[in-house]
Amino acid sequence: MKVCIAEKPSVAREIASVLGATTKRDGYYEGNGYAVTYTFGHLCTLFEPADYKPYWKSWDLNNLPMLPEKFKVKVANNDGIKKQFKIVKSLFDKAEVVINCGDAGQEGELIQRWVINKANYKGEVQRLWISSLTTEAIKEGFNNLKPSKNYDNLYYAGFSRSIGDWLLGINATRLYTVKHGGYKQVLSVGRVQTPTLAMLVNRFKDIENFVPQPYWELQILYRDTLFSYEEGRFLKMEDGEILANKVKEHEFEIVSITKKKGTEYAPKLFDLTGLQVYCNTKFGFSADDTLKIAQKLYEKKAVTYPRVDTTFLPNDVYPKVKGILSKLTDYSNLTDPILNKKIKKSSRVFNDKKVTDHHAIIPTGMQTHLQYNEQQVYDIIVKRFIAVFYDDCKVSNTTVIGKAADVNFKTTGKEILSKGWRLVFEKQDTSTSHSDQNNNLKKDTSTSLNVTKAGLLPSFVKGEKGPHVPSFLEKQTKPPNQYTEASLLRAMETAGKQVEDDELRDLMKENGIGRPSTRANIIETLFRRKYIKRNKKQILPTVTGIQLIDTIQNELLKSAELTGSWEKQLKDIEKGEFSASAFIRGMKRMVDALVYEVRSEKVQTRISAVNNKPVGKSKSKSKSKSKSKALVGSSCPKCKTGSLLKGKSAYGCNLYGKSCDFTLPFSFADKKISEKQYIRLLTKGSTVNLKGFNPETSEKVNSQEGLLRFDAAFKLKFEPKQVTKKVTVKAGENCPKCKTGKILKGKSAFGCSNYKSGCDYRIKF
């Protein structure tokens, strides 16, 4: 029997259906000579400190550093996980070959290898490596199974990463907590989270300590066009004033007009970080939200594997492009113009050297019903994919030089000669079902199009002269912007260096902080620890976060560049160019030195838990509560960028009629809806059951009781009150939801034994 092991039940189900293993068993699927089983996340984990030495359980400086000679793995201490591991092991014991169908990445390889090793399986292991979950991709993957040993280096890199995080995270967290933590205050320190926090704290302090510097700009308005002094700004007012007085006395003359044709290339395909940056900027999604949505799209077979760090495709995808475009029928008016001719192939898109395990995120061609947020993310992935096969955008860049009294001034403009790929983002009516979602994408390209149109210059002639209006203005330098989630992701990608150029950023990815798949979790961890907080789109450090970074004297712990070099070493382990043992030895040496250094520090700063909410006194609890729950001014739930206003007959988005059509009428189905109920709808997902509705769909004369929800297009829908039957359950029975757990009796409710591994089935007494 061939045993396949996937990373989660849903993926196992997809693989089993393709292989013909259609019989459902407890913890696996069986049929056609296959058994397809699964893990749910990490079945196995690294030993805890106390597993090595009992006295390591105590948070004591004398126990540090904790440096195990050999790192060991155990089955997680959870009844549901232990049961599933036994099922997996029993299948391995009967297997002629095991096929590792884990997530095709470093973490997926690590999760499955730990299970295979812990089950003590010694037979043949093969690896399924696929970039999407379509039937075609799964069949192709099983026709091209690879020996597991081909991925040994990937496993070594994942194991090294886990050990590095264990060594630094556990030792440094205990070290700083015992040395500097106040009452019940754990100070969490990590290999990636601490330098990320340091970047936020440093930026915050740079802004707080910023002292504006004055400068002066000399400009001339001629024929409604603004010309600026060619040599830039003045740092001394006197220097600029001399020239300002000089040019007043003379006419303005056009000296030269230079037109240069240029090319603007389509935006690159998405890697995960690029997608997270885009969705945070345009839709306000957090990095974690975007990752979860992209993962759902992958599991729905709509897009390829999302946890990637490349914006390129391998050459062997090119023959499949026409087929993918043909299947995107909802976007046919965008795909038809390129399907009717040879598909463009550019080295900016196809490059085998820039692709490792996976390629950029692209659609699979499979179209399915998506929720609103999923549709937004899917839509931009599809449009980026379509756009790269359009012609380049051709522009004409114009530079005009003029002078007054031998003082040169310059202005520039741009004219679009051929729109090319811009047409993909200009057309918003790809289909009626997509019109609402596409409104959100108008901002992305219409803004840039408006800029280019606004940059069109009058028709100047060399030698022409005329009157002008000079201006000499004092301005001040501005501090850098606070990080948003989008700019923080970019900073993590380049280890804190400001890099605008896409090509240069690609070269720096090897030395970035964290991996694309973990950056969202790092940011969320900092929120959970209350080291950072949100202020609209800004991410700011809290008092505790600032205190922690100030307390850590060891610069290496806070160094983005050092963390970036560790990431480079881990990637080199993956390539077989660096030794895992050398990486672990280096981490042990650093931890040893860190413990010695901090233990010998004389000053003991104590950091206590503080209220990290924005500063501001509220007069009373009730007032602050009602203020925080006002409907007017709250964020629009549909477009995420607008805010709600109160009109004559409805509440609505302030972008209504522009890019959003969201409204909340004062009355619905002959029933007045209070502001309080609408607040509940926005925060909880529905109103409470209310009486007095007369929906048009109802054939009843009497009014109905029910609640209001949003449909997929964020329109109100009425749901009649549900009469639920009393459910009777008994302890020891199989869980009706996950089918694998057992019903347990608690203090106030029955629940599933698999609650720790994700099953949320619960019935109150």
Point out the residues that are catalytic.
305
| Cβ pair 654, 634 in contact under 8 A | no
Rounded Cα distance, 160 and 576, in Å: 13
| Cβ pair 407, 249 in contact under 8 A | no
Tell me the helices (H) and strands (E) count for the chain, helix number first.
25, 29
Residue 67: count other Cβ atoms within 10 Å of its Cβ. Answer: 15
**Residue 461 host element (H or E):** none
Q: Give 715's strand partners.
A: none
**Residue 120 host element (H or E):** none
Rounded Cα distance, 336 and 424, in Å: 12
Q: Is 435 helix (H, G, I), strand (E, B) or coil?
A: helix
SS3 per residue for 257-306: EEEEEEEECCCCCECHHHHHHHHHHHHCCCHHHHHHHHHHHHHCCCECCC
Residue 614: count other Cβ atoms within 10 Å of its Cβ. Answer: 10
DSSP string covering 8-32? SHHHHHHHHHHHT--EEETTEEEET
Which residues touch 641 (CB under 8 Å, ≥6 apart)? 282, 283, 284, 440, 655, 659, 660
| Structure tokens that stand for 587 in this block | 């981490």
Q: Give 134's strand partners.
A: none
How far is the first Cα of the chain from the last one, in angstroms, to the nearest whole number? 45
DSSP string covering 50-85? HHH-GGGGS--GGG-S---SS--EEE-S-HHHHHHH
Q: Is 38 helix (H, G, I), strand (E, B) or coil?
A: strand
| Cβ pair 84, 758 in contact under 8 A | no
> How is the chain split among helix, strand and coil, in percent rounded to 5?
40, 20, 40
